[in-house]
Structure 1
Amino acid sequence: MDFENVLTLIQKELRDAFRNRWFLLYAIAFAALSLALAWFSVSGAGSFGVAGFGRTTAGLINLILLIVPLMGLTLGAMSLAGEREKGTLIYLLAQPISGAELLLGKFVGLALALTAALVIGFGLTGVFMVIKGGGGDFRVFLTLLILSVLLAVASLSLGFLISAAVKRAATAVGLALFLWLVLVYFGDLGLMGTAVVVGLKVEQLLTLALINPLQVFKLAAVFDLRQNLEVLGPAGIYAFRTYGGALWPMLVGLLLAWVVLPFLLATWVFKKRGVI
């Protein structure tokens, strides 16, 4: 593998991402909503007695669950399918590069673009909190940024898999939006409704949560914020009592698996399907 080719493709993807209107819209919306949450956290200090990074972090978790997977899924879905539909994918592969170099360069470039958008959003929020004298544990805020990047790249990997399997960009984006709705629905409300209707046991409820990257992120974020999962109900209490100190590395490992496995599967699908 020629890493000079990969680096060139990474630079191309970064430029394309920051010219993408939808990506810029998502990034600006995330930064604006993050700042709004920070402002409410500071302004509510007198009423609730707490403010700062801890309260802002708690508010950001639900915002991240909605916006960040949508950013990653749609950006990944448009990557290969968009190039294939425009015919530029054939042009790229006509150059002295391999398919593996193309996929790795595009994926890393888009992952860096997502990371940059999140760092800017979190950075502006952090600076605002410091200027306004917000207290709390900055480490928790920084950990949430790292978990958000993992969730974004995991979502990108799933979008990449969709993009490798379909021909048209519109179809890929439609499937990505559908998957986003499914993942969001099978969050707390969906799992709660399923548990009531089907009569799931607590260990089955936890298993359903662990196969959803959004819920894995939420479990990890809440655990880091509170050092327990009682706020998430029986499934959270069961997870904490069952895994104890191993819970945090297990959750991070699951997020990493959601990054690597869909990308590897996308590589296999791309090789089987071909360029057209």
Structure 2
Amino acid sequence: MKNLLLIAKLDIKESMRSKWFLVYLLVFGGLMALFFVTGITDSVVMGFTGLSRLLLVYMQVTIVILPIFILITTVKSISGDRESSILEYMLSFPVSLKDYYWGKMAGRFTIVFLPVILALLLGIAWGIFKGGELPWKMLILYTALIFALCFVFLGIAFFISTLVKSHDVALGASFVVWITLLAFIDIALIGLMLQNRISDEIIIFLALLNPMEVFRVGAISLFDPELTVIGPVAYYILDTFGHSLFIVFSVVYPIVLGMFFAALGYLSFKKRDLL
């Protein structure tokens, strides 16, 4: 455990010195500043008022930007160390593969999760300063959703990073994953698939395998429990899960999926040629 924490601490320090982390901070911090300047907390968005509208807009931005940032900055975590011979150097110390792998993942999760939450808390603090009412339940559930979204894409990124030896190939694979998931993020696109006479239940089931879609619908359900925004699909989701159970599913499923890919990555890391 001590070595694992040391690896995590080392990865955090290394990430904080890198340029991508500065860009990461500027993106989410800058977005919040932009929301303040444009008066997003003083306008009406889709009928929502107060801090709820800030969370709604932040959700729409997060679902697109956060996954790709996590993927492109993490897929080269192990492949980059392997390509630059840092991995060979690290393994020359009494550090097990288990400590190295999970320590890198713990450190990287900390560095990608905290800036997003800090930016969110900054927005909440500003909204309260402007006289808004703090939606505690919504904030806690939304934080859990962001945690799950970060975790699943971190697991996918580490899985990709262990499969390839070149970080250029890893970056290409991350873009393919992101674009593929993004292409099926909108349940409205399922209308095109319905023309093939596929069962509606199967199509919706396949759509909900997409962690980005699960995050999107779960976040929407915080603002709109009846899911009127997504149309008739809402009836199937609410009849199958119910509102409370779907929120639990939206948090637990991405975490389980992320752990599955992270575990696959670890198995691949142990069995493949490390250098």
Using the size of structure 1 for normalisation, the TM-score is 0.91
> Cα distance, 1:4 vs. partner?
0.6
> Cα distance, 1:22 vs. partner?
1.8
Whether 1:272 aligns to 2:271 is yes
Greater shift in the superposed pair: 248-257 or 264-273: 248-257
Residue pair 1:10, 1:108 contacting (<8 A) in 2 also: yes
Residue pair 1:81, 1:168 contacting (<8 A) in 2 also: yes
Distance 1:234 1:189 in 2: 10
Distance 1:105 1:191 in 2: 39
Whether 1:255 aligns to 2:274 is no
> Cα distance, 1:189 vs. partner?
6.3
Distance 1:62 1:200 in 2: 29
Deviations 1:145-203 (A, max 9, x none): 22112201211110111100000111111111121111111110673354344344331
1:158: which partner in 2? 156
| Secondary structure, aligned partner of 1:96 | coil
Structure-to-structure mapping, 1:147-186, within 5 angstroms? 147-186=145-184
Greater shift in the superposed pair: 248-257 or 129-138: 129-138
Distance 1:187 1:52 in 2: 27
2:23: which partner in 1? 25
Check 1:169–1:48 CA distance in 2 against 1; reply closer, same or farther (3 A cut): closer
Greater shift in the superposed pair: 86-95 or 183-192: 183-192
Distance 2:7 2:152 in 1: 20
Distance 2:259 2:150 in 1: 13
Check 1:103–1:118 CA distance in 2 against 1; reply closer, same or farther (3 A cut): same
Q: Pairwise CA RMSD of aligned residues?
A: 2.1
1:56: which partner in 2? 54
Distance 1:29 1:199 in 2: 43
Distance 1:13 1:184 in 2: 29
Distance 1:58 1:5 in 2: 40
Distance 2:217 2:85 in 1: 42
Residue pair 2:187, 2:230 contacting (<8 A) in 1 also: no
Distance 1:131 1:223 in 2: 26
Residue pair 1:220, 1:251 contacting (<8 A) in 2 also: yes
2:210: which partner in 1? 212
Q: Which amino acid aligns with 2:269?
A: F
Check 1:136–1:127 CA distance in 2 against 1; reply closer, same or farther (3 A cut): closer
Deviations 1:18-63 (A, max 9, x none): 1221232123212222343354422325x98753211111112211
Distance 2:258 2:128 in 1: 32
Distance 1:189 1:222 in 2: 13
Check 1:48–1:218 CA distance in 2 against 1; reply closer, same or farther (3 A cut): closer
Which has a greater percent of helix? Answer: 1
Residue pair 2:187, 2:207 contacting (<8 A) in 1 also: no
Check 1:35–1:206 CA distance in 2 against 1; reply closer, same or farther (3 A cut): farther
Q: 1:84 aligns with which of 82, 85, 89?
A: 82
| Secondary structure, aligned partner of 1:198 | coil
| Secondary structure, aligned partner of 2:131 | coil
| Secondary structure, aligned partner of 2:241 | helix
> Cα distance, 1:228 vs. partner?
2.6
1:202: which partner in 2? 200
2:106: which partner in 1? 108
> Cα distance, 1:17 vs. partner?
1.4
Residue pair 1:53, 1:141 contacting (<8 A) in 2 also: no
Using the size of structure 2 for normalisation, the TM-score is 0.91
> Cα distance, 1:136 vs. partner?
5.5
Distance 1:242 1:88 in 2: 49
Distance 1:110 1:259 in 2: 14
2:43: which partner in 1? 44
Residue pair 2:59, 2:219 contacting (<8 A) in 1 also: yes
Distance 2:250 2:187 in 1: 21
> Cα distance, 1:16 vs. partner?
1.3
